[in-house]
Amino acid sequence: MASFAKCLLIATSLVIILFINPSAAKPSTANVTNADINSICNKTLAPSFCYRVLTNQTLHANETTLFGLANISINIALASANETQFAILPLIKQAKNFTEREAYTLCSHNYKEAAVAVRDAQRLLAKHNYRGMRISALSAVEEAKACENHVKSPAVCSRSPLHDKNRDFKRYCNIIWAISNRLVQ
């Protein structure tokens, strides 16, 4: 009788924990399908961009789980953040005046923080903290937006030379956000 009560208590506790914190549940071990990719991409701000990224043959998305797809997306976003960071350095050196130099320096700082946020998302993914991962992805997007705002002021230039890189980075982070929402379900 005591054994039954102990098992019932454990089972009830597990159900309560999973109900309160569904991100504590382990992700599915099933491979991602094209239907999964469509579902994820339809939740992003740029579905066609997302679909192009996630169906890229070199990623082998259909040969991995949703957890693996999240990890791949985080790695792509991190590579994009680093690439943008490196693109900013020559812009700082080529700045025509103090205002422009300051804007690119602030933008460089934003991308350092964006890379930290993406690495944090990777750490949270490993801990199955999908809600935290989602927040980190959104934080990285905010850093990219701040960068864009610094460099698009009339004193710097009308269209930032980083516009396309910022846009793509935000889209990669949006893919992470959409996948994290799917992992929470």
CA dist 38 and 50 (Å) reads: 9
Residue type, 104: Y
CA dist 109 and 88 (Å) reads: 10
Q: Name the CATH code of domain 32-184 (choices 1.20.1250.20, 3.30.70.1890, 1.20.140.40, 3.40.50.970).
A: 1.20.140.40
User: What integer pLDDT is reported at residue 98 of this predicted model?
Assistant: 93
pLDDT in tens, the chain (185 residues): 444 333 433 343 433 333 344 444 444 578 889 899 999 999 999 999 999 999 988 877 768 899 999 999 999 999 999 999 999 999 999 998 999 999 999 999 999 999 999 999 999 999 999 999 999 999 999 999 999 998 887 665 666 788 899 999 999 999 999 999 999 98
Sequence-distant (≥ 6) Cβ neighbours of residue 50 within 8 angstroms:
40, 41, 44, 171, 174, 175, 178
In contact, 64 and 29? CB cutoff 8 Å: no
User: What integer pLDDT is reported at residue 60 of this predicted model?
Assistant: 75
User: What integer pLDDT is reported at residue 154 of this predicted model?
Assistant: 63
With CA atoms as reference, report the closest residue to 91 among 102, 82, 78.
102
CA dist 171 and 175 (Å) reads: 6
Between the alpha carbon of residue 163 and those of residues 23, 106, 147, the distances in Å are: 34, 15, 10
